[in-house]
A and B are shown apart, each in its own frame.
Chain A
């Protein structure tokens, strides 16, 4: 090994604490990059392979009922590659000993194996056989969650009829990667399952002989999706078509897209923060190292080493730190990526979802880490290269302190001599002080932004479940019912209140923009539902005109007062124009509302109820649920409490993983920044600190000079951290919002507090670690040497 490389190795060992502290921050950059890009890549690759292999359709349509022959007409539309018609039907299941409502969405599948689109991937067993009316395939997550296997039987109430189903296969399909029950926000694999039944059997069970109520199609390469959708809609209009839509509006696919969007948002926000802090740390540490080794550099140059050789020597120090960071970060990234992929596998139903190690991801992460370290080294390396040997070997000019603004403040505050030492040192090195403040501020900001995420999810939960829904049960009917059915429900003992809920599928248009959605309405005197806007205020349904959620209004670029064209779907294709009278800031979905009168004018009839909301006596829950299961008109029952609990459970388990990662990351920044600042401070001031000891200052008093400066910088960093945190949180909200969710900004004071406490603790522990060196100061040796 060359002598200069030996020096490098020993320098690294001597400065191992500082090198490791920088490496940890840089490793966090590598880890988050490997994590988010890696998981994103795995998810995209898995999705694409799965979609291609199982022929996930490009366009989807639902309708009331059409003869099967319509499929051929659809297939003849130019640009359509293949079209398949099926039946989908919600059903309630009856598990012995389980009183809570369990629902299934049953899909028909060709029992002769002629179905191609949205193909089932069988895990076990076989597809439903012809002439075996009770054969079903069940989705794997539901089967696992409910202990079902091949040969298990399930009692189902389909279209008002009881039927026993026999499980012959367990599998999954690409149109139910994210299988969400209506009214739920997260999949509940215990209470909602996807079933596939033979076509003939489901036709018979639902009185739809040779009829369909859903269509899937794939398109030729280069075909215009919009054009095909327009033609499909016009063919399906007489059959109660509710408007065809592409993959982007397909619920399962949209959830997956929103997850991918969040991952790429994370890639763009988190690793850059760590990279920035690492660059700064390398800059200050290497800068200090080169200043202290000034005379050595002069000597080495005097021996005949070139400026480049010296520059390369110090650059290698930064690169060595980067290499360590790449190794640590990659390992951590892989470990976290696997944990996150496992988490995804719980919610997304893929036949395979593994965390793939892709070399380009690691190469990119490594390039970023090396780039950040090299950038940080640039300033120091250039100054080392530029040093003239003769100048370098003479001691550096003493640091010049001058009275400035800080000084006058100090005079006013009546600082002690130690106070002046602290404040003037901060002012003497403004760049480094600013880096410390910024680094600690970023650490706190990152932690705060993460905590705000938790708060936002809880606020969303509160708005969606606690404040806007007051019913205990939601009962959906097999088809829209009138007052009679509602009255019958009200008669069940224990039912305290019944309210009808009306939803009609519509197409909204404004100018060239259109959006397929549904208009919701409720009784004017409704007690069980409320619409809550962003400020937490309850918003009444307008007596006339439409109210849109902010999401939907933005998509249509609609302003209050704009005339919105409303086309009724799923039956008579009536059109009317309604004025947009109000925009409401809601957290979930892109929704439209109207008062009952408006809804009836749009529908041109006294719109019947397709669902009712019930408030019940908790004592009577079991009895009521049992009664509802036996009612043929009831399609399904959703329990608000169960949905709320499931969502809370998901948030809690995700949060635990996420928060522990981010506490570790934020602490890594705080520790890295504070440790390096404190070590540099200590090395710069060792001479002064020893002098103070000689003059009769106690260890604890001397430590104040060290800790005081760190404390001052950390305290300055706290308000900055709050501001950075606020900005990062807003950025994350903007980047994470999708059609499905819009997170509210809902930071609690506890989050600011928690972020501050974690950062302060990390800073304090680190500073104390360095302050212990004060105890070991060798007064005699330090004073013998000229600084």
Chain B
């Protein structure tokens, strides 16, 4: 579905056309995205694969409303993200997007539950923070501070924080990058569970080809472009993955 059709299609979460991103660093400019068209259906589990600097993170940041393309148009359902100002983009992130990062980005001064509350405090129809932690299997660690949790546990708190607002989209940038295989699998399981139980659209960036087998589709990036699209008829469950 790497088509050019950007007409209103209610089954799509994101539709993008001719997305370009040029970073000006000093006297040289870097073209991070070179005319990317894409369509991501609602409820899809999508993996972006590619080497460093291939543009996948740039795309993730743009569809997450953290960054803007230099040119091109991007829609989330019927909202044109490329037409929003800073404040509106913030509101979009607040309402629709759950982020998960490689380095967790938990607030060290807040307990696990409070880190989740950070999001539920400002969301429209959030879960109870404890329910979200229950969903990632950390109900008994609610009152622990990040420094008192292992890396895998911290990442699962980050997942709980991302899903607690019942987001339309979960964007994960190398979610297992800092974790060992078995811990990483547990994190992927919680992502998969959120996707299955909440019907959330999930986009995962990874270097790790092993992870790609759990996705419906895989977009291969190279030099700021989508080099190849791979459709996976039979996604594998995370617990069958290892690396």
Q: Which residues of chain A have a CB within 8 Å of any CB of chain B?
A: 397-403, 416-418, 420-421, 424-425, 428, 687-688, 691-699, 701, 779-780, 783-784, 786-787
Contact A698 B90 (CB under 8 A): yes
B-side contacts of A418, CB under 8 Å: 118, 121
Contact between A783 and B90, CB atoms less than 8 A apart? no
For the complex with contacts A428-B109, A696-B94, 14 further pairs of A-B residues with Cβ separation under 8 Å are A398-B146, A398-B147, A399-B147, A401-B109, A401-B145, A401-B147, A418-B118, A692-B118, A696-B123, A697-B122, A698-B87, A698-B90, A779-B66, A783-B105
Q: A416-B121, A696-B93 are in contact. Are A401 and B66 (CB under 8 A)?
A: no
Within 8 A of A (CB), among B44-86: 57, 61, 64, 66-67, 86
Whether B202 is near chain A, meaning CB under 8 Å from some CB there, is no
* The 6 nearest A-B residue pairs measured at CB: A696-B94, A424-B109, A696-B93, A417-B118, A691-B105, A417-B117
Instruction: Tell which of B86, B99, B109, B143 touches A421, judged by Cβ atoms closer than 8 Å.
Output: B109
CB of B105 within 8 A of CB of A687, answer: yes
Q: Does B97 contact A (CB under 8 A)?
A: yes
- CB of B185 within 8 Å of the partner chain: no
Question: Are B90's CB and A693's CB within 8 A?
Answer: yes
Beta-carbon contact of B91 and A688 below 8 Å: no
The reply to whether the CB of B95 lies closer than 8 angstroms to some CB of chain A is yes
Q: Which residues of A contact B37 (CB under 8 A)?
A: none
Residues of chain A within 8 A (CB-CB) of B153 are: none
**What is the chain A residue whose CB lies nearest that of B143?**
A403
Asked whether, in the complex, the Cβ of A399 is within 8 Å of the Cβ of B108, the reply is: yes
B132 within 8 A of A: no
Q: Would A780 and B66 count as touching, CB distance under 8 A? A: yes
Complex CA–CA separation, A786 to B108 (angstroms):
13
Q: Which residues of B contact A787 (CB under 8 A)?
A: 103
Q: Which residues of A contact B86 (CB under 8 A)?
A: 699
Known: A398-B147, A783-B101. A420 touches B114 (CB 8 A): yes
A697 surroundings in chain B (CB, below 8 A): 90, 94, 122
Q: Which residues on A sit within 8 Å (CB–CB) of B205?
A: none
- The answer for the CA separation of A693 and B145 in the assembled complex, in Å, is 21
Note all chain B residues with C-beta closer than 8 A to A397. 147
Asked if residues B107 and A688 are in contact (CB atoms below 8 Å), the reply is yes
Chain B residues with Cβ under 8 A from A428's Cβ? 109
In whole angstroms, how far apart are the Cα atoms of A425 and B145 in the complex? 13
**Given A400-B145, A420-B114, A780-B66, A694:B99 Cβ within 8 A:** yes
Chain B residues, CB < 8 A from A416: 117, 121
The residues of B with any CB-CB pair to A shorter than 8 Å are: 57, 61, 64, 66-67, 86-87, 90-91, 93-95, 97, 99, 101, 103, 105, 107-110, 114-115, 117-119, 121-123, 143, 145-147, 161
Q: How far is the CA of A699 from the CA of B145 in the complex (A)?
A: 26
Q: Provide the bound-state CA to CA distance between A398 and B66, in Å.
A: 26
B107 / chain A contacts, CB cutoff of 8 Å? 417, 421, 688, 691-692
B99 partner residues in chain A, CB cutoff 8 A: 694-695
Taken together as a complex, chains A and B put the C-alpha atoms of A398 and B108 apart, in Å, by 8
**Given known contacts A416-B121, A780-B67, A696 and B90 CB-to-CB distance under 8 angstroms:** yes
Let me know if B145 and A402 touch, CB within 8 A.
yes
- Could you show 26 A-B contacts with beta carbons less than 8 Å apart? A398-B146, A399-B108, A401-B108, A417-B114, A417-B121, A418-B118, A420-B109, A421-B109, A424-B110, A425-B109, A688-B107, A688-B109, A691-B105, A692-B118, A694-B66, A694-B93, A695-B94, A696-B94, A696-B95, A696-B122, A696-B123, A697-B90, A699-B87, A699-B90, A780-B67, A786-B103
On chain A, the residues within 8 Å of B143 by CB distance are 403
Residue of A nearest to B123 (CB): A696
> Which residue from chain B places its CB closest to the CB of A698 in the assembled complex?
B90
Residues in chain B near residue A398, CB distance under 8 A: 108, 146-147
Q: State how many angstroms separate the Cβ of A342 from the closest Cβ of chain B.
A: 54
Give every chain A residue within 8 A of B114 (Cβ-Cβ). Answer: 417, 420
Give bound CA distance, A428 to B147, whole Å. Answer: 14
Query: How far is A694 from B91 in the complex, measured between Cα atoms in Å?
Result: 10
Closest residue to A689 on the B side, CB-wise?
B107
Contacts of B101 in A (CB 8 A): 783
Residue of B nearest to A416 (CB): B121
Whole-angstrom CA separation of A118 from B43 in the bound complex: 104
What is the CB-to-nearest-CB distance from A528 to chain B, in angstroms, rounded to a whole number?
Answer: 70
Q: Which residues of B contact A786 (CB under 8 A)?
A: 103
Of all chain A residues, the one with the shortest Cβ separation from B146 is A398
A700 (CB) vs chain B CBs: closest residue: B87
- Residues on B with beta carbons closer than 8 Å to the beta carbon of A688: 107-109
Q: How far, in Å, is B46 (CB) from chain A's closest CB?
A: 20
Chain A residues whose C-beta falls within 8 Å of the C-beta of B109 in the assembled complex: 399, 401, 420-421, 424-425, 428, 688
Distance in angstroms between the alpha carbons of A2 and B9 in the assembled complex: 64
Chain B residues closer than 8 Å to A403, beta-carbon distance: 143
Cα A416 to Cα B114 with chains together (Å) = 9
Which of A398, A416, A417, A688 has the most C-beta atoms of chain B within 10 angstroms of its own C-beta? A417
CA distance A538 to B94 in the complex (A): 70
Separation of A787 and B103 alpha carbons in the complex (Å): 9
Task: List residues of chain B with CB within 8 A of the CB of A400.
Answer: 145, 147
The answer to whether B93 and A695 have CB atoms under 8 Å apart is yes
What B residues does A693 contact at CB under 8 A? 90
> What CA separation (Å) do A701 and B114 show in the bound complex?
17
- How far is B123's CA from A609's CA once the two chains are assembled, in angstroms? 89
* Min distance, Cβ A402 to any Cβ of chain B, angstroms: 7
Q: Which of B67, B91, B118 contacts A695 (CB 8 A)?
A: B118
Say how far A701's CB is from chain B's closest CB, in angstroms: 8
B108 to chain A: which residues have CB within 8 Å?
Answer: 398-399, 401, 688
Q: How far is the CB of B118 from chain A (nearest CB, A)?
A: 4
Instruction: Considering the complex, give the chain A residue whose CB is closest to the CB of B105.
Output: A691
Asked if B145 and A696 make an inter-chain contact with CB atoms under 8 angstroms apart, the answer reads no
- Which chain B residue has the least Cβ–Cβ distance from A397? B147
- B57 neighbours in A (Cβ, 8 Å): 784
Question: A695 vs B90: C-alpha distance in the bound complex, in angstroms?
Answer: 8
Give the Cβ gap from B17 to chain A, nearest Cβ, in Å: 22
Q: How far is A424 from B95 in the complex, measured between Cα atoms in Å?
A: 28
One of B91, B110, B117, B146 near A696 (C-beta < 8 A): B91
Residues of B contacting A784 with CB < 8 Å? 57
Cα A131 to Cα B26 with chains together (Å)? 93
Closest chain A CB from B127 CB (angstroms): 15
Separation of A688 and B105 alpha carbons in the complex (Å): 7
Q: Which chain B residue shows the least CB distance to A428? A: B109
Query: Which residue of chain A has the shortest Cβ distance to B117 in the bound complex?
Result: A417
- Hey, which chain A residues are within 8 Å of B95, CB to CB? 696
CA A701 – CA B118 in complex, angstroms?
Answer: 12
A688–B161 CA distance with the chains assembled, in angstroms: 14
Name which residue of chain B comes closest to A786, CB basis. Answer: B103
